[in-house]
Amino acid sequence: MVAAFAWISASLACAQAAPAPSPAASAQASFTVRLKDLAYVQGVRDNQLTGFGLVTGLAGKGDGAGSKLLQRVVANLVTSFGVQIAEADLRSRNCAVVMATADLPAFARPGDTIPVVVSSVDEATDLSGGVLLQTNLKAANGQVYAVAQGLVSETAVNGVATVGTIPAGAIVEQGVSAPIVTGGKVSIVLRNPDFIDASDAESAIAKAFPKAQVSAVDASVIEVGIPADKSGDPVGFIAALESLTISPDLSGKVVVNPRTGVVVVGANVRIGKVAVSYKDTRVAIGADITSPYYGLGQAKNPFVIADTATVDDLVKVLQDAGVSSDTIIEILKAIDRAGALYGKLVVM
């Protein structure tokens, strides 16, 4: 059973002290990254495309011979080529009705190629090796922006044979304009909204371009007015913006995945004064080991960590004690419920 208890004592002890934080941890706060790696220009985005098509040549791995959907799709297809056939006469298992999807990137131009994902919508068991016939890919507005066709050469992740990919399988027929400058302003959008990062980005831009009007609208958006001397070269100005560097605030999240046992810890996450018990192991953060209340003296594996401990410190101690990943995740959940995890716990 896992338990987490809050207390007031601030004294420290050293039964089995956790390793001191690496010097690299303190240096991490001073590292810098380019603004383009933290943010993007508003208006620069992908657009989702979807189409309804037919994969052929599946050698008996396609939809069932009695599939009404397949019969109708094939009948409509051959009719478009001037061949009349009744739906009931179709008995092929070599075809599969599929949905085709793709992402149209910003600034794509007619003639560019993009990858396509196809997925079965009926009874097909394996799409690999089949050929997607010409399929219109539409956006949410109903317009066709690309046309897909080609060999389904790769099955999807985890070997799911009813989903496949066609590298460079669609040709862009219509591009999408991206309005990056509006009213003489460019809006920079942080991928992970954060007030500290937004303020730092505002300061860095204002310092680099004193003539520009810069305003952090909120934790996500920084509006930048293009200076008069840069108005004739907005692309160059945006490139200069993206090249600026800032020191991002350290993450305050702990992300855990119970299915895989993966724990990702932000460097800024601290743990308050708690005691954690698991079988013969007891870990106390900021505890007085001499106090019998916490039972550290009776534990076979007592650990004491300074009251400035991070989640990473705790995880290392638990791993050294032989605690499994699943149990470590449950301990982190318990600490979060006790209100002693000073960050955000995200369970995937």
Collect all residues with Cβ–Cβ distance below 8 Å to 252 and sequence separation of at least 6: 266, 268, 269, 342, 343, 344
CA dist 325 and 256 (Å) reads 10
3-state secondary structure of 340: coil
CB atoms within 10 A of CB 104: 22
- CATH ID of 33-43+179-246, from 3.30.70, 1.10.20, 3.90.1070, 3.30.450: 3.90.1070
Average pLDDT over residues 183-210: 92
Residue 312 CA neighbour count, 13 Å, CB half: 14
Residue 21 has pLDDT above 60, yes or no: no
What are the sequence ranges of the domains in the chain?
A: 3-28+251-347, 33-43+179-246, 47-172
Mean pLDDT lowest among 14-23, 75-84, 209-218, 222-231: 14-23
Quote the distance between the C-alpha of residue 202 and its chain's center: 25
Identity at 14, one-letter amino acid code: C
Residue owning tokens 């993206």: 242
Q: What is the sign of the dihedral through the CA atoms of 73, 78, 83 and 85?
A: negative
CA dist 333 and 347 (Å) reads 9
C-alpha distances in Å from residue 221, one per residue of 38, 123, 194, 216? 12, 47, 10, 6
Written as one string, the DSSP assignment of 305-326 is E-TT-BHHHHHHHHHHTT--HH
Does pTM surpass 0.75? no
Residue 172 has pLDDT above 70, yes or no: yes
Mean pLDDT lowest among 26-30, 194-198, 214-218: 26-30
Proportion of the chain above pLDDT 90, given as a percent = 35
